[in-house]
Structure 1
Amino acid sequence: MPIRTIAVGIVLLTLAIVSADAYAVDLSVAIGQSFPATDTLADINEENADARACLEGLCWPRVKFAVDVEAAQPGKGDALVRFPSPRETGSEVNDRVAMQWYAARGEDGRAIKAPAVIVVHESGSGMTVGQLMAKGLRNQGLHTFMIQLPGYGLRKQNGVKDDGTGFLIRMKQAVADVRRARDAVAALPLVDAEHIAVQGTSLGGFVASDAAALDAGFDSVFLLLSGGDLNDIIHNGEREAAKVRERLEAAGIRGEQLAQLVGEIEPLRIAHRLNPERTWLYNGTYDNVVPLKNGVALAAAARLQPEHHVRMTANHYSGVIFIPYVLEHIRNGIDTADRLDMPPMNN
């Protein structure tokens, strides 16, 4: 699909989603307040030695922490949620996590109690698709929290150029941030903590899959344009994947060293820990950034049934036209996951 057509599709989709975002919801019950939270990360319980080693490299000591809610930046949701990263890098700017809160609202326009979704954005600096997903899922009646990954948005350090050396450090931090985000969101008013999901797109999909595999913290998982075998994707994927490869090689990270470092965050090592009944994966059949074969590899490792691995006739960019379908599918998936918890009916 031509780039111009994709760009027009993004504009039209943005207008359709933003049309329901003409006014902010009153979150005075939360803005200006600090809420206590505690890490609920479970103890590592894993028989597979390789998976256990991977988990040990991603987990962190559980502590209590504060969740602060501030006024939103213009055009960036209804409120801004901040909390400390569980994995510090020494940067005060980067180590304070930021999430854009798009509040679920009722027919009268007021904020309501509803399930929540942590939205993990793609690699683009504008986080455009992440914000589209957050707004679109909010319009499905869900509280959404688009988390700004390390080095993005409010966490970006001015004057600090990314030469690739910190990529893997930030990825580990991102995984921890997303999992802690679940506990931060659960501490907020209006959030139905009985169901907190995670959704990630592209780069965000890799982060989300690892964060969800740490334990059973998330009630449902939705991965868009994502997959497994990061070493293969970095070496053979085009566009964004190629840029990552170039930055890493420029930093002198290549070959066996690259494979070893990427292996520390490899989703395939721990994907078997995802609940196949509560996990959905969406891939483009013509994707040349995260090829379909890498999606198939992740689906196989997670033991997903065909109905949980959705294949879209699209590439990594034209897949934007499927977002309205994906948004509705996620809403239905959350409802399906909720029904799994329902006791059997008496006959």
Structure 2
Amino acid sequence: MLFRGMAAVPVLASLLIMVTSSGFAAHNVRAAENVPIDQVFSTTDSLVTVSDAAADAKECLDGLCWKPQTFAVECRRPKRKLIDAIVRFPSAKPVGIPQNDTVNVEWYAATTPDGKICTAPAMIVVHESGSGMTVGRLVARGLRDRGMHAFMVQLPFYGSRRPRGIDVDDQNFGVVMEQAIADVRRARDAIAVLPGVDSDRIHLQGTSLGGFVAATTAGLDDAFHNVFILLAGGDLPKLVATGQRETAELKVLLEQQGFVGERMLALLNRFEPNRLAHRISEDRLWLFTASFDTTVPPIHADSLAKAAGLASDHHIRMPATHYSGVIFLPIVLDQIAEKSGGRTMVTQ
């Protein structure tokens, strides 16, 4: 299911090996020496009081936004190698499950040659639907190797946020999606107070499921400098009605939860990216689409591009499927880094 995470696709594992061995630097596995482990910072939501002349957009914003609050941000030592710290803060939209309602963000820190964190632009990374968050972590490490601080947000009920004995498929999908959007937006303010983060250059990237979350989050307000959407788009009701693989399974799950027909359409419309796409600055939004994608067909990226008024040179099309597109990831990350203040790595 979309929030449970799909079984591994065999071709994906082999493609990830190919990508990792071509176009990615081998990052030093030691943690950065001056990451603020066990330190606590205080910050406040910068979410502005949102409004929109379009009644439909205003209705969408009213359902997704929350009253800004002051909250604590703490850094903890990670259990996994290659991660420099775990950044934790309370969810802006808790669902009543304490373990899930503490957001965990994996920090892949930009460092100097001698292994100390340095001042650099930052990227919030929103992972795909796979339970291992493999592509999200690959993106984060790739951007870290390109001179950027990368922060991968573990979405609700993923990673350390998934409690034992609780089936995510029993949770209300709409509530969980709204929490995911709020968590990603709040992550921007959480990382802005961390040492080494250039708070004037905080960007947003999302892949597949994460791309839909990122696209809607970007429409809340003008919080992110640049936004990069990979293998995602808009028109969620049509996608769930006609899509294959993950989206087909999501449809079955929603029907089992009683969301059928107009009720399903109303649910998906609550966080539909196209309702807010006009609020994203078109010169700071880029889409990366797989031309032969059947999981998220290109028509959905085209739909988001149209809603955002996106110029054609901001919509990059790859001759790939939803899964084989990973072979283009080094080139995509080079383009993202170049536009975001990082450095490129792939030999031209």
Shift in CA distance, 315/19, structure 1 to aligned 2, threshold 3 Å: same
Amino acid at match of 1:100: E
Alignment counterpart, residue 288 of structure 1, candidates 274, 287, 294: 294
Residue of structure 1 equivalent to 2:253: 247
Q: Using the TM superposition, name which of 164-173 and 250-259 deviates more.
A: 164-173
> Partners of 2:87 and 2:67 in 1: how far apart?
22
> Partners of 1:229 and 1:29 in 2: how far apart?
41
Native 8 Å contact 2:71 2:90 kept in 1: yes
Q: Give the Å deviation of 1:206.
A: 0.7
Q: Give the Å deviation of 1:163.
A: 2.8
1:116 aligns with 2:122: yes
> Partners of 1:87 and 1:156 in 2: how far apart?
16
> Partners of 1:49 and 1:131 in 2: how far apart?
38
Partner of 2:249, secondary structure, is helix
| Pairing of 1:109-188 with structure 2 (within 5 A) | 109-163=115-169, 165-188=171-194
Structure 1 unmatched ranges of 5 or more? 337-347
> Partners of 2:93 and 2:141 in 1: how far apart?
28
Q: Using the TM superposition, name which of 8-17 and 39-48 deviates more.
A: 8-17
1:303-345 deviation digits (Å, cap 9, x = unpaired): 1111101111011000000100110010122249xxxxxxxxx
Native 8 Å contact 1:25 1:111 kept in 2: no
Residue of structure 1 equivalent to 2:216: 210
| Pairing of 1:202-281 with structure 2 (within 5 A) | 202-281=208-287
Native 8 Å contact 1:225 1:284 kept in 2: yes
1:129-178 deviation digits (Å, cap 9, x = unpaired): 00000000111100000000001001101111133542211100000000
Residue of structure 1 equivalent to 2:6: none
1:34 aligns with 2:40: yes
Q: Give the Å deviation of 1:17.
A: 7.0
Alignment counterpart, residue 302 of structure 1, candidates 308, 316, 332: 308
User: TM-score if structure 1 supplies the norm length?
Assistant: 0.93
Amino acid at match of 1:205: G
1:25-79 deviation digits (Å, cap 9, x = unpaired): 3254411100011100011131000000000100000010000000012225110
Shift in CA distance, 155/276, structure 1 to aligned 2, threshold 3 Å: same
Native 8 Å contact 2:51 2:61 kept in 1: no
> Partners of 2:83 and 2:22 in 1: how far apart?
16
The alignment's C-alpha RMSD in Å is 1.6
> Partners of 2:11 and 2:44 in 1: how far apart?
46
> Partners of 1:9 and 1:308 in 2: how far apart?
26
> Partners of 2:82 and 2:159 in 1: how far apart?
11
Partner of 1:82, secondary structure, is strand
Q: What is the identity percentage for the equivalent residue pairs of Structure 1 and Structure 2?
A: 47
User: TM-score if structure 2 supplies the norm length?
Assistant: 0.93
Q: Using the TM superposition, name which of 162-171 and 72-81 deviates more.
A: 162-171
1:223-281 deviation digits (Å, cap 9, x = unpaired): 00011010111111111111111111111211100000110000011100011101100
Residue of structure 2 equivalent to 1:21: 27
Partner of 2:337, secondary structure, is helix
> Partners of 2:116 and 2:34 in 1: how far apart?
11
Q: Which has the higher contact order (CA 8 A, sep 6+)?
A: 2
Q: Give the Å deviation of 1:109.
A: 3.0
Residue of structure 1 equivalent to 2:76: 70
1:329 aligns with 2:335: yes
> Partners of 2:73 and 2:169 in 1: how far apart?
32
Shift in CA distance, 27/108, structure 1 to aligned 2, threshold 3 Å: closer
How many pairs does the alignment contain? 334
> Partners of 2:103 and 2:35 in 1: how far apart?
21
Amino acid at match of 1:238: Q
